[in-house]
Structure 1
Amino acid sequence: MDGEERGSASASASEQTPEQLVARAIAPVKKDFLRPPPLRSSSPNHDLSIPNDNKPSILAKDKKSKRQLKRERRQEQKSARNLCPEIAKTGDVSSCPYKDKCRFSHDLEGFKAQKPADLEGQCPFFKAGASCPYGLACRFSSTHENGLPSANLNGLKNYSEVNGLSKDVQKLLWKNKMSFPKADAKLQTLGLLGPSKSKRNDLENKDGDNTGSNKCDHSDDSGSCVVTSDSGSKLECPAEVMIDDDNDIDEKSESDVLCPQKRRKTAESCDPKEAENEGVSVTEQNFVRSCTKSEVDAITPPETDLSLKLQSREKKLIDFKEKLYLAPLTTVGNLPFRRVCKVLGADITCGEMAMCTNLLQGQASEWALLRRHSSEDLFGVQICGAYPDTVARTVELIEQECTIDFIDINMGCPIDIVVNKGAGSALLTKPMRMKNIVEVASGTADKPITIKVRTAYFEGKNRIDSVIADIFSWGASAVTIHGRSRQQRYSKLADWDYVYQCARKAPAILQVVGNGDIFSFVDWNNHRTECPELATDMIARGALIKPWIFTEIKEQRHWDISSGERLNILKDFVNFGLEHWGSDTKGVETTRRFLLEWLSYSCRYIPVGLLDVVPQRLNWRPPSYYGRDELETLMASDSAADWIRMSEMLLGKVPDGFTFTPKHKSNAYDRAENG
């Protein structure tokens, strides 16, 4: 919401009754707390009230090319600020095994001279009873024993978090030597292995596919077509071929050539002798399994056993009934935030959406989205892909490498970069491809497969009700229905009547989860009363704005939470973030960035004690108001400068030249981009 809209809402709030304000979707804040909107420039993220000439820059700088960023990254690595991790752990310059060939700086004295002052508080690793893996680089190193790193360098994160990608498997993915026997066997059974691949290979051999209207407008200065996904990782744009008889989209991209599963070698080209010539280690050879046609036939069940395969789906069920389900939230649904929600009462958590193509390429940034904390007792991962072979191989790889309870396939993400790849909401226009993806994923995985969809792609053309009866027979254990179309994005209220209609049409054994606009225990109770057929509801933006919604639902009360209690929740997030991203300078600034992203949502919360009508609705626009104390007023600000002030209360001063722009611009109520 910009300053003009906020000012209009504030003026309206002082002149109209609460009922009139609610009818206009303006929050009915008590008149005693209303105030004129603060003076701002035309940019909602610029605050003129900061007199300091060294105030942080709020708007991001122009994007740099990949080559320039790589050059700057190498220069930064050699600077005294980037001390070798081995030296930081031991405090001994001679401890690095790479000596002069090390990529990092060995200037210990130079590092100490420029290192920022330690932050207040205790090292989060020592506080949890573990040793700090960052040693001298830790921003709390003064709280270490005698100021030196501990002899035990295992660190907390090594045993509290799981689902890391092993180096051996990552190397195989990089070299395109990873085999997927279960996925290929199932693809062969369904007739999806050969034709789809050859069809795309034919397209790849054609010239001129990337010209004309399909030319990408995201190229950087080096000519590479790269965009940033909402997970923060790099994606090729677009990354999938989209050509079907039921869709007039015809696009081809470079990432089809780059995608590992499309370049996997045959059994003849992956023999041990060639592997040895290519420098593949013995350990890697143990992972390489060539999958010949005879092996596929041996793995593939005969046609007469297909009925038994359908019955085996009964084992792939997971009980979502009445459990509080935190939605997979892009960027802000990170592991530290999920830990906060677990403390506040969430039952089910799910990792951020990960792109299948990036996982199959072994991208560390994408695999980080699958990390699981030991406190997440019922945990799933969400993946997004456009083709059955991509999804099936990703499912097999995840089951092999990760400890999870279920796998969710996103078929409802509205973000343009995902839809342009043929994934997410684009699948709603291709029901046969939806069916193939679910069938092959279910046939490959031993864990339950769930899917997340929207009502439709185009507004007014709902179609999930026509396939809801078939989704379980495809192999899904549960389906989450977000009550909006892709075209609608996050504007207007969710269509819960349609969600109820789908839930009533679904077979009793298929669990239907509703999603959209849940912001209080009243909303939760209403859905339980209106449609008992719903297994549960998924809570998304409501948890971002007030994560204690899980406590409210379990205790059936409106929690008039104080600013001090809210600050304690932020402190928990910071501690969890430092454990997850690290307690060195890089980890501190990563934690700050994700804290700011969260604050760009949480500022929309209006305390219960300030409202004339309770509870707050998710679509209400708050007027400008004073809180009951200075901290509560600060927490209500929609200015990024004020969010930075709050981060400095918890993580110290921002570094020189600090920039921040909310990724989702969540202060615009109809443009939140979490999926």
Structure 2
Amino acid sequence: MDDCPKDICAVTDSSTEGVPASQPPSDPDGTTQRSLEELVARAIAPVKREFLRPPPSSRTTQNNPASDANVKQPQANLVQEKKSKRQLKRERRQEQKSPLNLCPEIAKTGDVNACSYKDKCRFSHDIEAFMAQKPADLEGDCPFIKADAPCPYGLACRFAGTHKDNAPAATSNLLKKSSEVNGLNKDVQKLLWKNKMRFTKADVVVKSLGLAGPNWKVKKLVDKEEDEVGLDGSHAADKTDCKKVVDDSVDCSECPSTFPAAVNAEEACETDELRPLKKAKLVVDEKSSDEGEGATVLEKDNEKNSAETEPADNVLAEPDRSPKISNLKDATVLEKYNEKKSAETEPADDVHAEPDKSLKIHPREKMLIDFREKLYLAPLTTVGNLPFRRVCKTLGADVTCGEMAMCTNLLQGQASEWALLRRHSSEDLFGVQICGAYPDTIARTVELIEKECTVDFIDINMGCPIDIVVDKGAGSFLLTKPLRMKGIIQAASGTVDKPITVKVRTGYFGGKNRIDSLIADIGSWGATALTIHGRSRQQRYSKLADWDYIYQCAQKAPCTLQVLGNGDIFSYLDWNNRKTDCPELSTCMIARGALIKPWLFTEIKEQRHWDISSQERLNILKEYVRFGLEHWGSDKKGVETTRHFLLEWLSYACRYIPVGLLDVIPQRLNWRPPSYYGRDDLETLMASDSAADWIRISEMLLGKVPDGFTFAPKHKSNAYDRAENG
């Protein structure tokens, strides 16, 4: 307690947590304001009386012309007629040809003849017109100036005036390449686009588990029985509750069916949008087969290798029905990729026979990660990007995890989804989180990630409550399918050597928790760690997390399975209490608390309430902007991308109430802040829940916004409704 600031007069011992720091003052008319206990009971933050705004005044969002303009503009856009994809594509190409979009090669070198596409280039080559319309440079130095290489954005950089001209052009992208990994290889992307990527190990594991081939029809019947009879013995009445209680839930009896990629397309049932792979082409055109004899030779070699890796006792195993290479060009790409991978993995002198890698590794033989006492930053959609994780690392986070990526999009080679897997060199203990609905999809994804990415563990999300994910049979929907959960975990852990972790919620429906009945089996299925978010899917983020249930699950877990708790960690006292109440917990995952105050990791490590000043908070935002420009780029597009994600973060950060303004500490995650003044103008600005004020903060760091700029938070996290506070 010696580290606590002197200006905090409340006792911070866990036994006296929530004790008021002073007696409630009286109003000018002699009446006493509501007691602190009543405010806390109503989830209203007890801000000191001298900082509260006068009663007639409302929040910053009202009577604010800038805020009104910011809100009205999106509404006007909704009235406009929806444009077709062809029209949008035409407008996008016309915009690329405008002088504002200079060719990247010309911008980097300053030479008009540098572009190899010449007149066929889709970007502008007019340097004079570009420089005439280019906005003024931003204040500060180029984020790439520390490297002994020129900025990769050249003339297009918004900090072009600070560039160095004495570095060789060959090392122009040195800084970014040395600091970030897990990029998508172009050859791999082309194979994924054409559905010609081979997943031999994943397919063998899925077949050996009986989740493909003749057993698949039996598996579908088991899923149907689970819909009719739940784990707790309840019958189909639960399905009616699903429709009555949750408006956006799906009928469990109409679960989308699927088929493994190895099954003949003629025998497969209907597929849904979540399936990542197109139907396999089993018949090769005569013309293409005549033109590309090399493809036939490659197919025979691949079939031979696949037959060698399959189990010897698998008599009923189906023949290789993977997509065939229909032309010599695709065959050459695949052959070069396989040769490159084999050269990286095989020793120079291959004297001894290579062991059978298709055999499932026992969970005890896997490389394990000890999460005990480590500060774990949860995977956070939209806001938990690479620059934000770098900020949290500088403030004390030990474990970081990328944003949730959909397996279907990864297997289709979508660059935007693969960007979620990128890792910075400062992330020494890093994992990626994936989400899928079927064992074969998950198995292929983890095999691809292990080949192409550098990660320490792979987390499978089985708790995502978002409607678009649940409606596809993934996320929280898997909590209603325990046998499919088993198949997914077994397929993933049997395919890769990396540790497999799982994140779940307490259950699908409120009051019907089921993780405690599965906790003993999840470890035996192959998971090394399980994170439990103490809410059901139906609750979303309403009510407080049920930590008693998390404790119950942790006490039932086998010693080989690490259990992590998640929910409402917002101070070092919360962290201490959770660890003290249940020693069986390995650690606690920090999610929304890090969004509101990322220095929470520092508070936990230093065991104090940090009464951080507004200038210190602004410095953290400056660091985020610098990291964002390094990641997304320092040109016009990179600056606006950085601004967008900064605004998304500010929609959470405005919920923080400085410690020195509170009558009761620490702040709770579900408290609604009243309208109040800060201790200085910057602190007052940061406390505003107006998007116009967030834009003002962004302009302090990234310059003026473009004309007609508007912003609405994606998660609408600045709204406090009654449901969230119980």
Q: 1:279 aligns with which of 329, 334, 346?
A: 329
2:122 corresponds to 1:103: yes
Q: Secondary structure at the match of 2:697?
A: helix
1-structure distance, mates of 2:674, 2:164? 50
Which residue matches 1:459?
510
Cα gap change, 1:386 to 1:567, in 2 (>3 Å): same
Q: 1:175 aligns with which of 190, 194, 206?
A: 194
Q: Distance in 2 between matches of 1:585 and 1:197?
A: 51
1:410 and 1:424 in contact (8 A); partners too: yes
Shift of 1:77: 1.0
| 1:135 maps to amino acid | G
When residues 488 and 432 of structure 1 are mapped into structure 2, their CA distance, relative to the original with a 3 A threshold, is: same
Contact 2:180 2:422 in 1 (8 A): yes
Aligned counterparts of 2:577 and 2:703: Cα–Cα separation in 1: 44
Aligned residue runs from structure 1 range 62-77, under 5 A? 62=78, 64-77=83-96
Could you say if the C-alpha distance between residues 95 and 53 of structure 1 is closer, same or farther in structure 2, counting changes exceeding 3 Å?
Answer: same
1:263 alignment partner in structure 2: 279
Q: How big is each residue's C-alpha offset from its partner over 1:572-611, in whole Å with a ceiling of 9 and x where there is no partner?
A: 0000000000000000000000000000000000000000
CA contact (8 A) 1:428 1:434 kept: yes
For residue 25 of structure 1, what is the aligned residue in structure 2?
43
Q: Which residue of 1 aligns with 2:522?
A: 471
* 1:249 pairs with one of 244, 248, 254: 254
1:396 to 428, 447, 454: 447
Deviates more, 1:655-664 or 1:604-613: 655-664
Q: Secondary structure, in 3 states, of the residue corresponding to 1:145? A: coil
* Residue 155 of structure 1, CA deviation: 3.9
Shift of 1:18: 1.4
8 A Cα contact 1:125 1:155, kept in partner: no
Cα displacement (A) at 1:20:
1.4
Deviation (angstroms), 1:352: 0.1
SS at match of 1:280: helix
Deviation at 1:277, TM superposition (A): 2.5
CA–CA distance in structure 2, aligned partners of residues 40 and 251 of structure 1: 49
Counterparts in 2 of 1:444 and 1:98: CA distance versus 1, 3 Å: same
Percent identity between the two aligned chains: 73
Residue 520 of structure 1 corresponds to which residue in structure 2? 571
Question: Does the residue aligned with 1:126 lie in a helix, a strand or coil?
Answer: coil
Determine the C-alpha separation between the residues in 1 that align with 2:216 and 2:32. 63
In structure 1, the residue matched to 2:267 is none
> How far apart are the structure 1 equivalents of 2:283 and 2:465?
39
CA drift of 1:45 comes to 5.9
The residue type equivalent to 1:436 in the other structure is G
Q: Are the aligned partners of 1:58 and 1:641 in contact in 2 as well (CA < 8 Å)?
A: no
In 2 relative to 1, CA 159–506 (structure 1 residues): closer, same or farther, beyond 3 Å?
A: same
Mark the CA change 1:156 to 1:84 in structure 2 (over 3 Å): closer, same or farther.
same
Q: Could you report, residue by residue, the CA deviation over 1:265-302 in whole angstroms, capped at 9, with x for unpaired residues?
A: 5698973487462632623333469xxxxxxx97654x
Q: Which residue of 2 aligns with 1:218?
A: none
Question: What are the Cα deviations for residues 525-556 of structure 1, in whole angstroms up to 9, with x where unaligned?
Answer: 00111000000000000000000000000000
Tell me which residue corresponds to 1:658: 709
1:125-164 alignment runs, 5 A limit: 125-127=144-146, 130-145=149-164, 152-164=171-183
User: What is the aligned counterpart of 1:405 among 456, 476, 479?
Assistant: 456
Write the distance in 1 (CA, Å) between the matches of 2:166 and 2:197.
45
Matches within 5 A, 1:305-384: 309-310=361-362, 312-384=363-435
Question: 2:90 is paired with a residue of what secondary structure?
Answer: helix
Residue equivalent to 1:435: 486
Q: 1:300 to 1:368 in 2, by over 3 A?
A: closer
Alpha-carbon RMSD: 3.1
Which region of structure 1 is more displaced relative to structure 2, 535-544 or 261-270?
261-270
Give the 3 Å change call, closer, same or farther, for CA 47–422 of structure 1 in structure 2: farther
Of 607, 610, 615, which residue of structure 1 is paired with 2:658?
Answer: 607
- 2:306 aligns with none
* 1:620-635 pair list within 5 angstroms: 620-635=671-686
Query: In the aligned structure 2, how far is the partner of 1:118 from the partner of 1:489?
Result: 44
C-alpha distance after superposition, 1:422-473 (max 9, x if no partner): 0000000000000000000000011000000000000000000000011110
Give 1:670 deviation, angstroms. Answer: 5.9
For residue 351 of structure 1, give the secondary structure of its aligned residue in structure 2: strand
Are 1:46 and 1:640, in contact at CA under 8 Å, matched by a contact in 2? no
1:490–1:670 CA contact under 8 A, matched in 2:
no
Counterpart CA distance in 1 for 2:485 and 2:219 is 18
Is the deviation greater in 434-443 or in 653-662? Answer: 653-662
How big is the shift at 1:193? 2.2
The CA distance in 1 between the partners of 2:257 and 2:188, in whole Å, is 28
How far the C-alpha of 1:68 sits from its partner, in A, is 3.3
CA distance in 2, matches of 1:94, 1:671: 62
CA contact (8 A) 1:482 1:514 kept: yes
Displacement of 1:523 in angstroms is: 0.1
Give CA deviations for 1:389-412 in whole Å, capped at 9, x if unaligned. Answer: 000000000000000000000000
> How far is 1:54 from its partner?
10
- Matches of 2:167 and 2:148, distance apart in 1: 16
**Is it true that 1:503 corresponds to 2:554 in the alignment?**
yes
Per the alignment, residue 66 of structure 2 pairs with 50
**Greater shift in the superposed pair: 395-404 or 101-110:** 101-110
Q: Does 1:120 align with 2:171?
A: no
Q: Which position in structure 2 is the counterpart of 1:294?
A: none
When normalised by structure 2's length, the TM-score is 0.78
Q: Distance in 2 between matches of 1:258 and 1:518?
A: 34
Unaligned runs of 5+ in 1: 1-10, 202-237, 290-296
Larger deviation, residues 652-661 vs 402-411: 652-661
The Cα shift of 1:19 comes to: 1.6
* TM-score, length of structure 1 as denominator length: 0.84
Q: CA deviation at 1:40?
A: 7.2
Q: Does 1:645 align with 2:687?
A: no
CA distance in 2, matches of 1:48, 1:546: 27
Q: Do 2:211 and 2:219's aligned partners in 1 also have CA atoms closer than 8 Å?
A: no
Q: 1:22 and 1:257 mapped to 2: Cα distance?
A: 46
Q: CA, structure 1 residues 343+99, in 2 after alignment: closer, same or farther (shift >3 Å)?
A: same
Aligned-residue offset at 1:58: 6.2
